Amino acid sequence: MPCRVQHQLSAEPLPAGLYIVATPIGNLGDITLRAIETLSRCDAVACEDTRVAGKLLKHLGISKPLWRHDDHADEKARAAIVSSLSDKSVALVSDAGTPLISDPGYRLAREARAAGHLVTTIPGACAAIAGLTISGLPSDRFLFAGFLPVKDKARREVLREFGTVDSTLVFYETGPRLGKSLAAITEELPGRETAVARELTKLHEESRRGDPQSLAAHYEANPPKGEIVLMVGPPVETRSQVDPDEALREALETMKASQAAGHVAKLTGIDRKQLYARAMELKE
């Protein structure tokens, strides 16, 4: 049966509560119908920066009271927003993308829930997800870790810590720091496929994948402008992780002992003669 999406903007006020509204990450066309409707019907918009939110609302032809909010807001200011939720609908937006994702909102959402108010989501753009989906890196499991630390020592510690996780790692990054991060990845996570997604959804959108060293060389020659998602593929099986007996048995199913020994020598780095002797034992 064909499915027709129907959407009609309602002028009715929204039920009281907190509406977490995602906004575009660069291309205004990515605003969702529900985001427009929620921003049109809510009583007030809580935002990181009133100028940025004001510009978006103006573009949409919407005028609403703007309440400045960030995670550093004092408890009183946050408590005032939370208590307003008993009879007001408040849309929370950040400067771009999904609120709470490396953006303010966590404490507000947590406290609003704890106070028993409606907390609901109007999902949409998120740079981490957009970058991952075009990177060509495995997307079945990923670990989003926000921004890498600015200091080199701390940055390397984070890379070492997350480097053992069997997932694609997703970080937010800035142009001026990309080179240092790629250098740290080259040294701390050698051989890991790395991807850079830049200026997603914008005119100069770019996605590059390769070894971190070549990416570093590329961006040294072409200093990156704009916003960046940096991703590192999951660990590949290392030589020491290959079980030589298991690999030999598997190889012997289709190869002669000498060929199997050569094949497993390449995988493990173990001496070929030693592997040949073992292959003969296993054959018996």
Q: Which is nearer to ligand SAM, 172 or 219 (CB)?
A: 172
Minimum separation from the CB atom of position 24 to ligand SAM (A):
9
Cα(264)–Cα(251) distance, integer angstroms: 8
Q: Which is nearer to ligand SAM, 97 or 247 (CB)?
A: 97
- Interface residues with ligand SAM (CB under 6 A) are 25-26, 94, 96-98, 101-103, 126-128, 172-174, 197-202, 227-229
CB nearest ligand SAM: which residue?
A: 97
Minimum separation from the CB atom of position 40 to ligand SAM (A):
22
Tell me the angle at which helices 106-114 and 75-84 cross, rounded to the nearest 10 degrees. 50
Minimum separation from the CB atom of position 232 to ligand SAM (A):
15
Residue 63 identity (one-letter amino acid) = S
CA distances from residue 94 to 98, 228, 229, 258 in whole angstroms, order as listed: 7, 17, 18, 63
Minimum separation from the CB atom of position 15 to ligand SAM (A):
25
**Cβ count near 159 (within 10 Å):** 22
Q: Which is nearer to ligand SAM, 127 or 247 (CB)?
A: 127
216: tokens are: 């570093």
In which region does residue 105 sit, left (phi positive, over 0), alpha (psi from -120 to 50) or beta (all else)? left
Minimum separation from the CB atom of position 180 to ligand SAM (A):
15
Q: Which is nearer to ligand SAM, 170 or 275 (CB)?
A: 170
Q: Which is nearer to ligand SAM, 25 or 42 (CB)?
A: 25
Say if residues 29 and 51 touch (Cβ distance below 8 Å): no
Cα(245)–Cα(255) distance, integer angstroms: 15
